[in-house]
Amino acid sequence: MIDIVQPELIGTSTRFVRPRTGIIRVVLPAYNEQKSLPALLERLDLAFEESALQGDILIVNDGSTDDTVRVVRSYIGQSPVRLLDLQPNRGLAEALKNGLLTAVSECEAGDIIITMDADNTHTPGLILRMVRMIREGSDVVIASRYRPGSRVRGVSTLRKLLSLGASLLFCGLVRIPGVRDYTSGYRAYRAELLQAAFDRYRDELIHQTGFACMAELLLKLNTFAPIIHEVPVILRYDMKAGASKMRVWRTVGETLSMLSRYVFTGYLIDGHYHRGVKRESASS
């Protein structure tokens, strides 16, 4: 059993109106996003309405000090929105892990889990395409900055160069088939894959702190030999209401440390050996 502190969960799951096609469960870690969430939730509602997908939106409040909780509560009952309230602030990795654990615990066959940033920089209109690719056989679909047709607005040249450098390092040293963007937070997962990963790694599935946890999660999922595809993404940092919460140089250091440990020893921080092991399918 995973020993984890249970935060307060507010709202009702959509399981009781389960459609034949499964539920699209969106997990949104949020820290001080009171200004960004209204626009994002409206765009998510529109995306679900236009696509006729059954959505469930789980907002993981990571100890926000602004009115994020109040904003989320105002949407409960009007939209398929629920609140998972973590106190105090624990960081992106813990918020993501708690959100995924909650979503996986409620999933049934055919469900798909989407992770997005809560700052309104990810376009919900892409969800339908990602869901279709999961239905067509992919286990993971990544909204990638490094595919033809992708666009990034409102990001400094330095951050673009650092992100590109990280992509080149991972592509050269790790080489997961189908992956160019290892750090994107906008992904779709077949629920069964995440369930298998939690069953194997337990509370250690996401151990790395900060934004490096996205690359860590992908490396661990790779031990199941998943089918991964990417789609071009339009990133709109110019629509972001507040300043970025990423500590750029800290994230670079954490990511490089994890990558070097993986490449030179085959181990990640959780003590599990990942490189060179016999990989297993998510259905085994």
Which residues, 6 or more positions from 162, have their beta carbon under 8 angstroms from its beta carbon? 248, 252
CA distances from 225 to 32, 47, 172, 175, 228 (A): 36, 31, 19, 13, 9
Rounded Cα distance between 96 and 146, Å, is 24
Rounded Cα distance between 53 and 65, Å, is 33
Q: At 179, is the secondary structure helix, strand, or coil?
A: coil
Q: Is 275 inside any structural domain?
A: no
Which pLDDT belongs to residue 42?
A: 96
Q: Is 282 inside any structural domain?
A: no
b/e sequence 21-34, b meaning 16+ C-beta within 10 Å: ebbbbbbbbbbbbb
Kindly report the CATH number assigned to the domain that includes residue 104.
3.90.550.10
CA distances from 142 to 17, 33, 39, 172, 183 (A): 28, 23, 23, 18, 10
Residue matched to tokens 């089918």: 227
Which pLDDT belongs to residue 79?
A: 92
Report whether the peptide linkage leading into residue 88 is cis, meaning its omega lies within 30 degrees of zero.
yes
Find out whether 36 and 67 touch, Cβ atoms under 8 Å.
no
Q: Beta 187-190 vs 140-144: how paired, if at all?
A: antiparallel
- Tens-place pLDDT, residues 15-61: 545 555 799 999 999 999 999 999 999 999 999 999 999 999 999 99
The total number of structural domains that make up the chain: 1
Which pLDDT belongs to residue 12?
A: 64
DSSP-derived letter for residue 30 is E
**104 φ/ψ angles, rounded to the nearest 5 degrees:** -65, -40
Q: Is 55 inside any structural domain?
A: yes
Q: At 7, is the secondary structure helix, strand, or coil?
A: coil
Which pLDDT belongs to residue 3?
A: 52
Q: Is 270 inside any structural domain?
A: no
Range of the domain at 35: 8-265
Q: Is 279 inside any structural domain?
A: no
DSSP-derived letter for residue 91 is -
Q: Is 169 inside any structural domain?
A: yes
From start to end of the chain, where are the E strands? 8-10, 24-30, 55-62, 81-86, 112-115, 140-144, 151-153, 187-190, 228-232, 234-236
Mark the ranges of the chain whose per-residue pLDDT is less than 50: 1, 16, 269-270, 273, 276-284
Rounded Cα distance between 267 and 273, Å, is 5
pTM for this entry: 0.85
Q: Is 149 inside any structural domain?
A: yes
- Tens-place pLDDT, residues 48-96: 999 999 999 999 999 999 999 999 999 999 999 999 999 999 999 999 9
The number of beta carbons lying within 10 Å of the beta carbon of residue 129 is 14
